[in-house]
């Protein structure tokens, strides 16, 4: 049975609050004369995620409406903003008549698993502190037991060494809450808004510890990898992240990939979607000053990486293809749902 103070309807008396303060401090001499309770507020730990974020019609939910958890890891506001970033460009294209409503179905498909992961991680971050409290004796039921455990940490004995080792390991493990780059960055989308037909193999396996470590990849459905770039005459340092977003589909290519640029322009004009393209490499639009983009792009010089307006990889080509315009048209029509339009009201396609 949970402790009574874990229940939202529990209203402790002043004496119960004082008893709890005495228990925490460990000083039985404390009385109501020493403590003034000015206000009592409640905080209920949430561990809730919605099964779907979209009702199939015109209602879309995001943020705390679909995922609620404690602020451990600090993932709440970030996840809310990411929900909006995922949804906004899709609604815009559908409202403008440039995409079918099937594009909106990808919102729940892509974001609900992220919400589920964040909920689990945030609450596990709370639980990850339990071994610390145990190692310092905080979970001992009596004052004497807590004092004895605390004193043990200073002992030059095997018992003291074992307790100090438990504490060290417990503190080290909190890196999963404080430095959890993996849980923040290893988001992987798999929906119709991602084009996988040209991939020759499965999605790469996540790192051994996907909470701590980030898997950098341009595999479709993953985040655009960051790499520092600059102009040939060095100016303000930029990230590859700065090339994408801003409501546009972005194509990044290298030497020998220039044909992709004109193909993207024609397809974008044909479909009425905003596009931008950049070449990255020696003497091109941007210089790969540290070689990081070359190491992380996973495509050849003449290949390309197509990014959605939310900076997730939509599709990539390992090398130049003969009909690059036709290939881009196929990719865009698939993502926007234009390759499978709904039947007209008169029953015709």
| Residue 295, in any domain of the structure | yes
Which residues form the domain of 333? 216-349
pLDDT band at 109; cut points 50, 70, 90: very high
| Residue 159, in any domain of the structure | no
pLDDT (mean) for 198-205 = 93
| Residue 287, in any domain of the structure | yes
Q: From CA 184, how far away is CA 136, in angstroms rounded?
A: 30
Statement: residue 40 has pLDDT above 90: no
| Residue 240, in any domain of the structure | yes
| Residue 42, in any domain of the structure | no
Q: From CA 261, how far away is CA 342, in angstroms rounded?
A: 31
**Domain count across the chain:** 1
pLDDT at res. 231: 93
Q: CATH number for the domain including 229?
A: 3.40.30.120
Statement: residue 184 has pLDDT above 80: yes
Work out the burial of residue 285: count CB atoms within 10 Å of its CB; fewer than 13 is exposed, 13-18 middle, 19 or more buried: middle
Cα separation of the two ends of the chain: 60
| Residue 177, in any domain of the structure | no
Statement: residue 2 has pLDDT above 70: no
Q: From CA 291, how far away is CA 287, in angstroms rounded?
A: 9
Buried/exposed code over 288-308 (b: 16+ C-beta within 10 A; e: otherwise): bbeebbeebbbbbbbbbbbbb
pLDDT band at 7; cut points 50, 70, 90: low
Q: From CA 272, how far away is CA 274, in angstroms rounded?
A: 7
pLDDT at res. 76: 86
Statement: residue 28 has pLDDT above 80: yes
**Runs of H (alpha helix) within 128-156:** 130-135, 143-152
pLDDT per position as a tens digit, 234-254: 889 999 999 999 999 999 999
pLDDT at res. 345: 44
pLDDT at res. 8: 57
| Nearest 10 degrees: Cα torsion 233, 238, 239, 241 | -120
pLDDT at res. 5: 42
Statement: residue 137 has pLDDT above 60: yes
Q: What long-range pairs does 85-91 form, CB within 8 A, spacing at least 24?
A: 85/310, 86/110, 86/111, 86/310, 87/60, 87/62, 87/111, 89/247, 89/308, 89/309, 89/310, 90/193, 91/60
pTM: 0.85
Work out the burial of residue 143: count CB atoms within 10 Å of its CB; fewer than 13 is exposed, 13-18 middle, 19 or more buried: middle
| Residue 102, in any domain of the structure | no
Mean pLDDT of the chain: 91
pLDDT per position as a tens digit, 119-133: 999 999 889 999 999
DSSP letter at 5 equals: G
Phi, psi dihedrals of residue 287, rounded to the nearest 5°: -90, 135
Q: From CA 283, how far away is CA 87, in angstroms rounded?
A: 37
3-state helix, strand, coil in the chain (%, to 5): 40, 10, 50
Work out the burial of residue 36: count CB atoms within 10 Å of its CB; fewer than 13 is exposed, 13-18 middle, 19 or more buried: exposed
Phi, psi dihedrals of residue 235, rounded to the nearest 5°: -125, -140
Specify which of 8-17, 125-134, 320-329 reaches the highest per-range mean pLDDT: 320-329
| Residue 263, in any domain of the structure | yes
What is 65-91 written as a DSSP string? GTEE--SGGG-HHHHHHHHHHHHHHHH
Statement: residue 348 has pLDDT above 90: no
- Which positions ≥6 away from 27 have C-beta within 8 Å? none
């Amino acid at each position: 049975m949970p402790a009574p103070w874990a229940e939202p309807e529990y209203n402790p008396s002043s004496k119960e609050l004082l008893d709890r303060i005495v228990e925490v401090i460990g000083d039985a001499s404390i009385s109501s004369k020493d403590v003034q309770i000015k206000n009592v507020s409640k905080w209920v730990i949430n561990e809730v995620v919605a099964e779907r974020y979209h009702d199939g019609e015109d209602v879309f939910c995001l943020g705390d409406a679909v995922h609620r958890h404690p602020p451990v890891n600090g993932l709440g506001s970030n996840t809310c903003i990411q929900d909006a970033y995922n949804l906004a460009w899709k609604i815009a294209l559908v409202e403008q008549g440039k995409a079918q409503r099937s594009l909106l179905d990808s919102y729940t498909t892509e974001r609900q698993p992220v919400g589920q992961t964040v909920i689990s991680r945030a609450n596990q971050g709370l639980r990850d502190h339990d071994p610390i409290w145990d190692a310092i004796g905080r979970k001992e039921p009596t004052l004497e037991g807590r004092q004895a455990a605390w004193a043990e940490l200073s002992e030059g004995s095997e018992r003291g060494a074992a307790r100090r080792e438990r504490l060290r390991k417990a503190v080290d493990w909190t890196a999963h809450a404080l430095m959890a780059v993996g849980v923040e960055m290893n988001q992987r989308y798999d929906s119709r808004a991602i084009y996988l037909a040209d991939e020759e193999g499965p999605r790469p396996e996540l790192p051994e510890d996907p909470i701590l470590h980030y898997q950098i990849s341009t595999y479709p459905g993953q985040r655009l990898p960051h790499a520092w770039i600059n102009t040939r005459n060095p100016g303000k340092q930029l990230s590859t992240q700065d090339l994408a977003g801003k409501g546009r589909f972005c194509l990044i290519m290298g030497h020998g990939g220039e044909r992709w640029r004109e193909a993207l322009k024609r397809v974008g004009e044909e479909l009425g979607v905003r596009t931008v393209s950049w070449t990255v490499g020696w003497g091109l639009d941007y210089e790969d000053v540290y070689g990081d983009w070359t190491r992380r792009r996973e495509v050849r010089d003449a290949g390309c990486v197509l990014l959605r307006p939310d900076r997730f990889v939509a599709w990539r080509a390992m090398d130049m293809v003969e009909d690059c315009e036709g290939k881009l048209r196929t990719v865009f029509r698939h993502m926007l749902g234009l390759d499978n339009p709904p039947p007209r009201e008169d029953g015709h396609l």
